[in-house]
Structure 1
Amino acid sequence: MKEAKFIWKDGKLIPWAEATTHVLSHTLHYGNAAFEGTRAYMTQKGLAIFRLKDHTKRLLDSCKITAIKCPYSQEELEKAQIELLKANQDIFKGNVYIRPLVYLGYGVMGIDHRKAPVNVAIAAWEWGAYLGEEGLLEGIKVKTSSFVRSSVKSTMGKAKISANYLNSQMAKYEALECGFEEALLLDDNGFVAEGSGECFFIVRNGKLITPPSDNALESITQATVIELANDLGLEVERRRITRDEVYICDEAFFTGTAAEITPIKSLDFRQIGDGKRGEVTKRLQENFFEIVLGKNSKYSHYLTYIS
């Protein structure tokens, strides 16, 4: 990890190394914390945060779902992220990942979290392609996980919370240990849910297909890709997808803040399409990067410039 100078914590900028918390912090033991993943891209006009308002709104929605009373408003959290990037911008040379975290701190133990203090921290660091630069161009190998995506009957998938990601972590671990680069999780009915940290698309007969968010996080990047596809005249369908349909689709790719648009070249040793980035994926990918790099004026409202 490339360290930055400062982290924003509870209303103040503090040196990176001093952003610590007590080992008896409630979240560390019980997993209730809301977080976000947001990217800032280095454009010709300097750093610009992509869809800052939407990511911050989802952070507060996650807090509401898990009964955490965030002490900061949406406007205050947006300003804090901008302040943090400005404080670190002299060392940022490339694209930046932003991680706001609302967590339960030190003061009480036990399952009851109502009296635990709420802390807020925001970190930012330079981070390139999550699944590798080669993966963006050539595609990645994916394994259907033996771990089922946590059921809506037992957890709250619309919240981006720390506890939910043990499911993802185990799926990712299994995939990597088996020689793959990412996992694809099915829901408890056997339909495709999402990747370990990404939403999922296939292309079949020229149509772009993505599952509903019944068993997945409501993805901001997924929504952007759907909007972009509509603008490009592509037919988009949201419906359930089975694993065997993925085997015979023409193209497949993951989307997410970290993954951006990453092609999938195989699933469970079955080659997808030509076994490389497909033409629809390539077109969407190129247009997506034009948006986040400030080269498409129609989508300029999604960018918050720092300088």
Structure 2
Amino acid sequence: MTDSQEYIWLDGELVESEKATLPFMTSALHYGLGVFEGIRCYETPRGPAIFRLAEHMERLIDSARILGFRDLPYTAEQLGEACKTVVRANRLTSCYIRPLIFFDSKVKNLNLDQGWARVGIAAWYWGAYLGEEALEKGARMNISSYTRHHPNVMMTKAKITGNYANSVLAKTESVRLGFDEAIMLDPQGYVAECTGENLFIVRNGVIYTPGTWAVLEGITRDALITVARDLGYTVVETQLSRDHLYIADECFVSGTAAEVVPVTEIDFRTIGNGRRGPVTHALQKAFHAVVHGEDPRYAHWLTTVNE
């Protein structure tokens, strides 16, 4: 396995990383006009395999449509094949994949109809997003002073690059205050999600998570709900207030980058007994088995790179 990014897939061709550059005046850089995905590829007995590739590519295309692109140069299937090409070209066995559809234009204005869509895909080795230690000991979080987007202000079902200024403000504030991550409330004051993860709590053996009306429809979130129910847990999608978090028996977050991470402290309040809980641990183990091809029930979620 290599950490290097030797090649980037850019507009249909593999390009050496140092040559995959863009002009300073590229519109997407100035206005946040792009959509992206975060995808993980894992080592499995059948070789490198990308987790839920089709669903990620469908969401990428959906995000582009939501942003307002009318014409796209590639289909979801073509972009999926390009992701596999990038992993092979960089000789990666376990990695993070970043496809990006971005806007370019000769006319510098705010009209998507006066430009065109371009596409780039990169892949690199990326370990635990919140740190290896957090996988067992848990993360410390706080309620952000920043509110998650109102769904009539920004499109919350799309991974739009410009949307993430909201996440950057919240994350940076929380880290500067000494926390690992921020929990964001929706415009009504209910729990929404973290800056890059969906959130769950466990109370009396039942798993609760905010509904998707104001949050990104996380693909890892969806997988965990399915796995949890298959394990016999009840999962309820509902509104959660911030004080629900304080009295939870367990709390954990999920995302492509983060995977499954326990939360053991929120706003200086210890969650449960302050350690990773049994439900969280069970889901971590089950998710690890799923993504590494060790549970045949979910084999359809894995796309092998070399076949």
- Normalised by the length of structure 2, the TM-score is 0.97
The alpha-carbon deviation at position 110 of structure 1 amounts to 1.2
Q: For 1:128-184, what per-residue CA distance to the aligned partner results, in whole angstroms no more than 9, with x for missing partners?
A: 110011011110000100000011121100011101100001000000000000000
Distance 1:122 1:162, change over 3 A: same
Structure 1 residue aligned with 2:187: 188
Structure 2 residue aligned with 1:301: 300
CA distance in 1, matches of 2:46, 2:3: 23
Given that residues 36 and 60 in structure 2 are in contact (C-alpha distance below 8 angstroms), is that contact kept between their aligned partners in structure 1?
A: yes
Structure 1 residue aligned with 2:80: 78
Structure 2 residue aligned with 1:54: 55
Q: Secondary structure at the match of 2:145?
A: coil
Q: Secondary structure at the match of 2:213?
A: helix
The alpha-carbon deviation at position 5 of structure 1 amounts to 1.1
The alpha-carbon deviation at position 117 of structure 1 amounts to 2.6
CA distance in 2, matches of 1:201, 1:139: 14
Identity over aligned pairs, percent: 44
Structure 2 residue aligned with 1:211: 210
Structure 2 residue aligned with 1:286: 285
Given that residues 142 and 175 in structure 1 are in contact (C-alpha distance below 8 angstroms), is that contact kept between their aligned partners in structure 2?
A: yes
Q: Which runs of 4+ in 1 moved over 2 A?
A: none
Q: Secondary structure at the match of 1:168?
A: helix
Structure 2 residue aligned with 1:230: 229
CA distance in 2, matches of 1:35, 1:303: 20
Given that residues 141 and 266 in structure 1 are in contact (C-alpha distance below 8 angstroms), is that contact kept between their aligned partners in structure 2?
A: yes
Q: Which amino acid aligns with 1:78?
A: G
Q: For 1:23-56, what per-residue CA distance to the aligned partner results, in whole angstroms no more than 9, with x for missing partners?
A: 1111111111010000001123221000000000
Q: Secondary structure at the match of 1:200?
A: strand
The alpha-carbon deviation at position 259 of structure 1 amounts to 0.7
The alpha-carbon deviation at position 277 of structure 1 amounts to 0.7
Q: Which amino acid aligns with 2:60?
A: L
Structure 1 residue aligned with 2:263: 264
User: Which stretch of structure 1 is more off in the superposition, 187-196 or 103-112?
Assistant: 103-112
CA distance in 2, matches of 1:85, 1:2: 11
Given that residues 139 and 262 in structure 2 are in contact (C-alpha distance below 8 angstroms), is that contact kept between their aligned partners in structure 1?
A: yes
The alpha-carbon deviation at position 238 of structure 1 amounts to 0.5
CA distance in 1, matches of 2:29, 2:107: 12
The alpha-carbon deviation at position 21 of structure 1 amounts to 0.6
Given that residues 222 and 255 in structure 1 are in contact (C-alpha distance below 8 angstroms), is that contact kept between their aligned partners in structure 2?
A: yes
